Amino acid sequence: MILTGFLKTVQLTFFGLIMGLILGILLAIGDLYGGKIISTIIKFYVEFFRGSPIIIQLFIFYFSVPIMLNIRLGSTIVGFIVFALNSAAYQKGYIKGAMESVYKDQMTAALSLGLSKVQAIMYVVLPQAMRIMIPGWSNEFSSLGKSTAAILIIGERDLTAIGRTIAFRTFRFLETYAFIALIYFIFISIVLKILDIIYEKIKIPTIEISA
């Protein structure tokens, strides 16, 4: 039972993180190159998802949106949507910052070779921005991994929800919640370690300065 809950949490976290990355890149590019109108729309989007509680966002997509569009959305789907959109809003900031830090000279140099703007972003700006972004991305991962617990509010059976059920059934609140917290802790620590290793692996080589 705990395992299925855990897998749900992992699923929600990674889906949100990866969709958030793809969306976040598009948002960052839109903001940097899209002109005033697009950039204003993106700003509203980001402010909404960063400025409102994630529980409200879950409610909106679970209760309001289905009524407005006259569709039915399961709690898992709503989780995927909300965590992806929410994470994209945060990741856009990291990506844009990283892109801006490599952006101008490297862009000019790429254009001077005859690369198109899109090629320059793909082959020059993004590869460098991604490297810079990994520490920020680690942050976003650990925060999102824990935020997914909010989904129990719309009835999804994630790790926290399962833990709550067990706790109420056994009346061993302390042990159960401590154990659940430990699982979160181990999961997040392992992934952070992996990201750390990746960061070191793909770091751009420089001269080693030894004291």
Partner 1 sequence: MGEQKKEAVGTPGGRRIADIILECRNLWKIYGKIVAVKDVSLEVKEGDIKLIFGPSGSGKSTLARCLAMLTTPTKGDVFLMGECLTKPGVDLNKARAKIGFVFQHIWLFHHLSALGNIELGLRRVLKLPKNEAREQAIQALKEVKMEEWANHFPAQLSGGQQQRVGIARALAMSPEIIILDEPTSALDPELTGEVIDTLRDLAKKGTTMLVISHEMPFAREVADEMIFLDEGMIVERGQPELFFTKPSSERARRFMARLIKLTRRE
User: Is 174 or 204 the residue whose CB approaches partner 1 more closely?
Assistant: 204
User: Is 209 or 211 the residue whose CB approaches partner 1 more closely?
Assistant: 209
By C-alpha distance, which of 112, 88, 113 is closest to 29?
Answer: 88
CA distances from 169 to 126, 153, 166 (A): 50, 19, 5
Helices 36-51 and 2-33 pack at an angle, to 10 degrees, of 150
User: Is 130 or 181 the residue whose CB approaches partner 1 more closely?
Assistant: 130
Q: Minimal distance in Å, beta carbon 8 to partner 1?
A: 37
H or E segment to which residue 4 belongs: helix 2-33
Q: Minimal distance in Å, beta carbon 25 to partner 1?
A: 17
User: Is 51 or 114 the residue whose CB approaches partner 1 more closely?
Assistant: 114
CA distance 21 to 34: 18
CA distance 96 to 31: 8
Residues that bind partner 1 (CB under 8 A): 102, 105-106, 108-116, 119, 123-124, 127-128, 131, 204-207
Q: Minimal distance in Å, beta carbon 158 to partner 1?
A: 38
Q: Minimal distance in Å, beta carbon 126 to partner 1?
A: 10
